[in-house]
Amino acid sequence: MTHEFRLPDIGEGLTEAEIVRWLVPEGGRVEADQPVVEVETDKAVVEIPAPYAGIVIRHGGAEGETIAVGSVLVVIGEPSDTGPPQVEEVPEGTLTEPSATPPTVEESQPTQVAPIVGSISEEAELLSSRDRADDTVASDQVKALPIVRKLAREIGVDLTTIEGSGPDGRVTREDVLAAAARAEIGVSAVPSTSPEPAPEAAEAHPAPPQPGQQVTHDGGDERRPMTRLRRTIAANMARSWAEIPHVTTFDEVDATRLLEIRSALGARHDVKIPMEALVVKAVIPALQTFPEFNATLEGDELVVHGRYDIGIAVDATDGLMVTVIGDAAGLGVLELATEVRRLGEGARSRSLSPDELTGQTFTVSNIGAVGGGHGTPIVPYGTVAILSVGRAREKVIVADGDLAIAPVMPLSLSFDHRVIDGAQGRRFMSLVIENLEEPALFLAG
């Protein structure tokens, strides 16, 4: 029997994914739970296992192609199959990291935690009534996903003027971005019904740039299409900045004792202790004292989280990523150090699973790692505060009435002013400073 396996929702709100690499060719044999394809989502590159054994009859898309959640990902069966394919229903479960052993797909009841691999989200491609009304005419003429139509509306691109490069002439996100790029440099998009242009016209209408391709124009300017990750970062930053009224408070901390403890722990255990591990450990008591900093604002209600899932900003090759240390309050300094290193390496190699990149309740950003001092960090959407830590530099301070030279670390705390007042922000910062100046206060807890 032949089965159609459709792209499942492998992350919160996922609507589409790009096929990076097929691990089993058409005509090849695949075993149950064997990774069959590698796909890239907004933040991660993950492997998707086949739900059963058989022959790969057909791939649902070529490498580099973007397909929507719910679209046929792969058809698996036997060479002798002649009947119509059956749609494979994927039970809710968990997808492992690409480097891990593929999981066994087991039946389970839905839980309140968003599934990594699970039933297709019914909301993934739903539009508001206004969106549907706007798309009525275009839907009769152009093949495009709702998310692509929305992008076209937002940047002012007429879908009817675009020749789709996707399957069956479907207009893709890259087609829309390329059309917008041509419009910016004064080149009109070629309608899908236009005849082949003459050689002279072809020179005036260059082919649209592909993702990652650098295009040089007269005057030396370069047009670089944004990567999927960069577009995701841009969208998240814009949403946070537009919807959250930010306030940032600044301070400094004498990091003498903190650096001494860091050095002593590293020497005792023969391991480098990331600064983030100590900062997270110092922040946890402050979050416990001021729980509204470990919260999410949902409408008129503040959801105060019982877990402390701390986000760590990572300067990855493709852009800033926030990894998540789950239940950080239950980890010691050495365990936190191990997690910070593991998540940092995973973010840079794009090998983390979606649940390791989402769901933080508070965020720490160590801009000191790249030489930064004070900053104005943007609060990640879905949280209410973020603490930025700068590089410690020697400065003259007053200690016990005398002048002294000490390593001084800049701190910047941004918070959502709808939830947190200035005085509350200062009290939180004061407790963090107290802990950082005397690590025994949080190491003893």
Alpha helix (H) residue ranges in 350-404: none
CA angle 66, 59, 52 (to 5 degrees): 115
Dist CA 413 CA 387 (whole Å): 5
- pLDDT 10s digits, 243-295: 999 999 999 999 999 999 999 999 999 999 999 999 999 999 999 999 999 99
- pLDDT 10s digits, 422-431: 999 999 999 9
- Phi, psi torsion values for 430, nearest 5 degrees: -60, -40
Secondary structure element (H or E) that encloses residue 363, with its range: strand 362-366
> Which pTM does this prediction carry?
0.60
- pLDDT 10s digits, 80-109: 654 455 554 444 333 433 333 333 334 333
Torsion of Cα atoms, 287 then 288 then 293 then 298, to 10°: 140
Dist CA 388 CA 441 (whole Å): 21
Dist CA 16 CA 27 (whole Å): 25
Provide the annotated active-site residues.
417
Dist CA 114 CA 122 (whole Å): 13
The amino acid occupying position 364 is: V
User: Would you call 207 exposed, middle or buried from its count of C-beta atoms within 10 A (0-12, 13-18, 19+)?
Assistant: exposed
Provide the pLDDT for residue 219. Answer: 67
Secondary structure element (H or E) that encloses residue 181, with its range: helix 173-184
Secondary structure element (H or E) that encloses residue 40, with its range: strand 35-40
Between 143 and 137, the higher pLDDT residue: 143
**β-bridge pairing 35-40 and 45-49:** antiparallel
Which residues pair with residue 72 across a beta bridge?
6
**Residue 129 confidence (pLDDT) above 60:** no
**What average pLDDT does the structure give for the chain?**
78
Dist CA 362 CA 383 (whole Å): 6
Portion of the chain with pLDDT greater than 90, in percent? 44
Q: Among 19-23, 169-173, 206-210, 311-315, which stretch is predicted with the lowest mean pLDDT?
A: 206-210
Domains within the chain, CATH numbers bracketed? 1-123 (2.40.50.100), 129-225 (4.10.320.10), 246-443 (3.30.559.10)
Provide the pLDDT for residue 192. Answer: 36
